[in-house]
Amino acid sequence: QFQNVGFIGLGNMGSRMVNNLVKAGFNVTVHDINRDVMKMFTEMGVSARETPYEVAQDSQVVITMLPSSSHVMDVYTGTNGLLHGDNAIRPALLIDSSTIDPQTTRKISLAVSHYNWEKPVMLDAPVSGGVLAAEAATLTFMVGGPKDAYLAARPILESMGRTSIYCGGSGNGSAAKICNNLAMAVSMLGTSEALALGQSLGLSATTLTDVLNTSSGRCWSSDKYNPVPGVMEGVPSSRDYDGGFASKLMAKDLNLAAASAEEVGHKSALISKAQEIYKKMCEDGHETKDFSCVFRHFYNGKDE
Ligand code: NAD
């Protein structure tokens, strides 16, 4: 049973995940390059350290929740990173929950497995569910790496999420995450285009949504996260696309899908089309708006 958990990356997601680890009774040590956020945690009685290396020395498990591949690489292999030095006490388990490409995950996992005498194990465990799910401890973790390490990590994951799915070997959690977000990006585009065309053909978006949701066009974007303002309450489209999952994060995840597809020689017309549209949404000033604002791309900025 692990008790001492290190956590690196206390941003929108990480800060909330740490709160849930603390609530669940884990002894948490944190680090972030942002000193203000570290101060916030020390004031709450959580121990903070100056470097990832120091966090590693105090922890049986270290979780990272960082913006992108280069940050994760840096925290693992950089100066004073998690793998710094030779003879330090090592955590037994390293869990990366950042959304990064599976190739980088596998490279880091290999570096971890080549490391010194007390071999730590690495899991990739990115999450689905945004800030609200991080706050409510209802995230879904998609996990790649050795299965026994996954089973050992479950009590920790379950303190921050509702579901965890074992996806296979190293990198498979990252692969699952970017494939899920690709499906979500493309289905949001398809739903938005259909709803925009329907309106141009004289149908109300509410009526067409009723049809889609009781027919074969139904999907998460139509029945849980409808992109047309006024059709559904409590979703970003009903509050000028504020909150939710920012277009710039969707653009980032599509870039990961494109890079991963290229690396394995997979041709995908839809990845590049989706990339093009989300990139344009960001360039047009919607980068912090929820990604369902792509509806505007198809409906010329007019609402229902
Ligand atoms: P964020 O930008 O809010 O937080 C990242 C944190 O990492 C920041 O506090 C930053 O200071 C810290 N950081 C950056 N470089 C560092 C370094 N070298 N050492 C230590 N700390 C460092 O990002 P977020 O929204 O919390 O997302 C984190 C990850 O989760 C991303 O990969 C994102 O794609 C993924 N994700 C986000 C959401 C969401 O809705 N925000 C949902 C699912 C997955």
Atom of ligand 1 nearest to the CA of 139: 43
- The pTM (predicted TM-score) of the whole model is 0.93
Predicted confidence (pLDDT) per residue in 128-143, tens digit: 998 889 999 999 999 9
Nearest to 167 by CA among 134, 124, 129: 124
In the chain, pLDDT over 90 holds for what percent of residues? 88
The alpha carbon of 87 is separated from its chain's Cα centroid by a whole number of angstroms, namely 33
Q: How far is the CA of 88 from the centre of ligand 1 (A)?
A: 27
Distance 15 CA to ligand 1 centre (A): 9
Residues pairing with 94 in the sheet: 62, 122
Share of the chain above pLDDT 70, in %: 96
Which whole-number Å values give the CA distances from 95 to 22, 147, 159, 165, 182, in the listed order? 17, 13, 14, 14, 23
CB 238 within 8 A of CB 229: yes
Gap from CA of 71 to ligand 1 centroid (Å): 9
pLDDT at position 88, please? 57
Q: Which residue out of 34, 38, 55, 65 has the highest number of ligand 1 atoms within 8 Å of its CB and is therefore the one to mutate?
A: 65
**Complex ipTM above 0.95?**
yes
Lowest mean pLDDT among 48-52, 86-90, 164-168, 195-199: 86-90
pLDDT at 304: 43
Model confidence at 1, pLDDT cuts 50, 70, 90, reads confident
Q: Out of 177, 267, 289, 302, which one is annotated catalytic?
A: 177
Pocket-testing residue among 12, 35, 181, ligand 1, by greatest number of atoms within 8 A of Cβ:
12
- Which structural domains are found in the chain, ordered by start? 4-169 (3.40.50.720), 175-298 (1.10.1040.10)
Mean pLDDT confidence for 173-190: 97
Cα(11) to centroid(ligand 1), Å: 5
Encode pLDDT of 21-56 as tens digits.
999 999 999 999 999 999 999 999 999 999 999 999
Q: Across all residues in the chain, what is the average pLDDT? A: 94
Evaluate if residue 117 carries a pLDDT over 70: no
Any idea which residue has 């259909």 for tokens? 194
pLDDT tens for 99-109 read: 999 999 999 99
pLDDT in the model for residue 243: 86
Tell me: pLDDT of 62 over 50: yes
Confidence band (pLDDT; 50, 70, 90) for 303? very low
Residue 248 appears among annotated catalytic residues: no
pLDDT digits (tens, 9 = 90+) for 202-232: 999 999 999 999 999 999 999 999 999 999 9
Confidence check: pLDDT of 144 > 60: yes
